[in-house]
Amino acid sequence: MPELPEVETVKNELLPYVIRRQVTGLNLIWKGIAHQPPAAEFCSRLIGQTIKGITRRGKYLLFSLTGEEVLIIHLRMTGSLIVGHNSTEPPQYTRAIIHLDNNTNIFFRDPRKFGLMRLVKDENTIIGKLGPEPLDASFTPEILSQRLARRTAPIKALLCDQHLIAGIGNMYADETLFSAKINPLRSGGSLSSREISHLHQSIQKILRLAIINKGASVENYYRPDGTLGTAHFEFQVAHRLSGKSCPICGTNIERITVRNRGTYFCPHCQPEI
C-alpha cells in the first residue's frame, strides 16, 4: 500500500497543480469514498473552496482550505491521485474526480475501494493519535527507545503500528529491519541501545532513499503524472519471492507471517537471538 514515501511523493508532485486553486466541481463516481460527512454535504461544503496548501501526516494527505476546513485523503491499500485535464479520459477504477479552476482534474483511482476522503474542521480528530514522524528532527534514537521500552510485540508489528511511529508500513518495515540486521520476530523491548541506534538510522535511510526514488510501485501505486515510482528496485528483501537469494550473503530469503502481515527477511543476516 502507499506508505510514507509514496504519500510524500504524491504531496510534492500535486502541489504545483493545486496550490491556490479553487474546487469548481466534484464527481463522486463511488459515493462511499466520501467517508465524512455524507456525500451530498461533502460536495456542497468542498465545492467553492480554495486549496491553500498540502501537508502529509503519516500516510494521510491534508489539504488546507480557505473555509478553515481540511480535506483529508487516505489512499489506503490501492489508491492513487492522478492529475489530468477536463479532456482527459478518467483512468480505470476512478472513484472520484476533483475539478479545479485551472482546467485540472484530480482523479482518485482506487481498484479495491479502500481509499477515503474526509472533510473536517479539526484534523486532530483523525490524525491526533498518530505517532511521531520518523523523518522529523524531533524523532531521535532516545524517542524510539522510549517507545519500544518494555514492548513484548514483535518489532515488525511495532514498526507498522501507526500509533507508535507514523508512516511506516509492511514493505519499509521489512527493508528497515534488514538494513539494521534485526530479526522481525524480536520483541521491541529486547533491543539493545546499539540496536535501537542502528534501527533509527535504518528507518531514516530507507525512507529518504525511497522518497528520492519517488516511492515503490509494487502493485497499484502511481505518481500523480501516471508514471511509476522506482523505489522497489532498491529493495533487498521486501516483496522478494521466498527462496530468492539474499543480496548480501546468498542465503535464501524467507517469508513468514507476523501479526497477519507477510514478512520477508534473511535468516542469516537477521538471526533470531
Listed by start position, the domains of the chain span 4-127, 141-265
What SS3 state is found at 120?
strand
CATH of span 4-127: 3.20.190.10
Is 261 among the residues known to form the active site? yes
Query: CA 127 → CA 57, 73, 110, 144, 166, distances in Å?
Result: 7, 11, 22, 20, 10
What burial letters (b/e) apply to 36-58, b meaning 16+ CB within 10 Å?
eeebeebbebbeebbbeebebbb
pLDDT in tens, 122-166: 999 999 999 999 999 999 999 999 999 999 999 999 999 999 999
- Rounded Cα gap, residues 133 and 233, in angstroms: 25
Amino acid at 148: L
Is 214 among the residues known to form the active site? no
Residue 248 has pLDDT above 80, yes or no: yes
Residue 220 has pLDDT above 90, yes or no: no
Q: Which CATH class is domain 141-265?
A: mainly alpha
Task: Name the catalytic one among 181, 247, 261, 267.
Answer: 261
C-alpha cell at 229: 515510482
Task: Name the catalytic one among 2, 5, 154, 184.
Answer: 2
Is 2 among the residues known to form the active site? yes
pLDDT in tens, 159-169: 999 999 999 99
pLDDT of residue 136: 98
Q: What is the mean pLDDT of the chain?
A: 96
Residue 242 has pLDDT above 70, yes or no: no
pLDDT of residue 240: 79
Task: Name the catalytic one among 11, 56, 59, 214.
Answer: 59
| pTM of the predicted structure, to 2 decimals | 0.96
Is 13 among the residues known to form the active site? no
pLDDT band at 221 (very low <50, low <70, confident <90, very high): very high
- Rounded Cα gap, residues 256 and 272, in angstroms: 13
